[in-house]
């Protein structure tokens, strides 16, 4: 799954990688949590054809047919194996795809009956990358239009499966356009290359959504032999 991630790159870095022209005011976020508004990129029609567009979306998909937004917290992830069939996701999978930029993400490893150790995970050769996402536009009973999104997940890369059996779908830069224009399907929702993953233990402070500072992405002193520092 994916329940927390970081995005600390500058607006200029995001523009360079994703090709959008907007100038969003993006402060570094070290502990992005569900049900908050997050950065996303989608294709929009323009005079010169489709172009990348940056927008903010509520993390937790709200299908267009939903009566309320109450269950969006349970829709932060969509399993890639069933996304094309699930009623909540299949329409967005066909025509409303997006990229969700990140620098790293967090997963929790079970270390005892109730104890869990958080790990920060990133990509060796892509310090800024994108999760495969879906988006929807929902009109509330008050007639407010709310954009929302979800992150697709798949089986974890072999190098990090000891932490958690699932991970977000991470797209190679060369696959961004294919994902956005809907021409790519199951072939992009694959297990990520194990040798490209980097990971280390971080502070339990990341478990509190009110904490959002640079120390959250620093390795602990006892990262251990399984960790691989960036």
Q: Which residues contact 48 (CB under 8 A, 6 or more apart)?
A: none
CB atoms inside a 10 Å sphere around CB 214 = 10
- Residue of 22, 70, 107, 136 marked catalytic: 107
Beta strand spans in 90-222 (E):
97-102, 104-110, 116-123, 129-139, 145-155, 166-168, 170-171, 197-201
d(CA 41, CA 24): 12
Contacts 24+ apart (CB under 8 A), 176-185: 176/18, 176/99, 176/130, 179/97, 179/99, 179/132, 180/41, 180/42, 180/43, 180/52, 180/97, 180/98, 180/99, 181/43, 181/50, 182/94, 182/95, 182/97, 185/84
Query: Which token pair is 123?
Result: 């990509």
Work out whether strand 129-139 and strand 145-155 pair parallel, antiparallel, or are unpaired. Answer: antiparallel
d(CA 152, CA 105): 13
149 is annotated as an active-site residue: no
Residue (of 121, 94, 116, 120) closest to 180 by Cα position? 94
2 is annotated as an active-site residue: yes
Catalytic positions are: 2, 107
């Amino acid at each position: 799954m994916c329940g927390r991630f970081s995005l600390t790159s500058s607006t200029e870095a995001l523009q360079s990688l994703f090709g959008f022209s907007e100038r969003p005011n993006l402060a570094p976020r070290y502990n992005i949590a569900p049900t908050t508004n997050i950065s996303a990129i989608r294709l929009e029609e323009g005079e010169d054809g489709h172009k990348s567009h940056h927008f903010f979306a509520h993390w937790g998909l709200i299908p267009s047919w939903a009566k309320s937004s109450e269950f969006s917290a349970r829709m932060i992830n969509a399993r890639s194996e069933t996304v094309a069939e699930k009623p909540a996701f299949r329409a967005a999978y066909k025509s409303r795809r997006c990229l969700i930029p990140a620098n790293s993400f967090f997963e929790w490893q079970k270390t005892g009956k109730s104890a869990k150790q958080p790990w920060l995970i990133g990509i060796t050769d892509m310090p800024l990358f994108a999760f495969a996402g879906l988006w929807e536009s929902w009109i509330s009973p008050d007639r407010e239009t709310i954009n929302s999104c979800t992150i697709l997940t798949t089986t974890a890369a072999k190098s990090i499966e000891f932490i958690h059996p699932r991970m977000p779908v991470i797209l190679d830069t060369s696959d961004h356009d294919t994902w956005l224009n809907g021409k790519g399907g199951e072939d992009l929702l694959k297990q990520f290359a194990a040798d490209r993953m980097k990971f280390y233990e971080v502070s339990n402070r990341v478990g509190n959504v009110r904490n959002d500072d640079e120390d959250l992405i620093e390795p602990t002193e006892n990262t251990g032999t399984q960790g691989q520092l960036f």
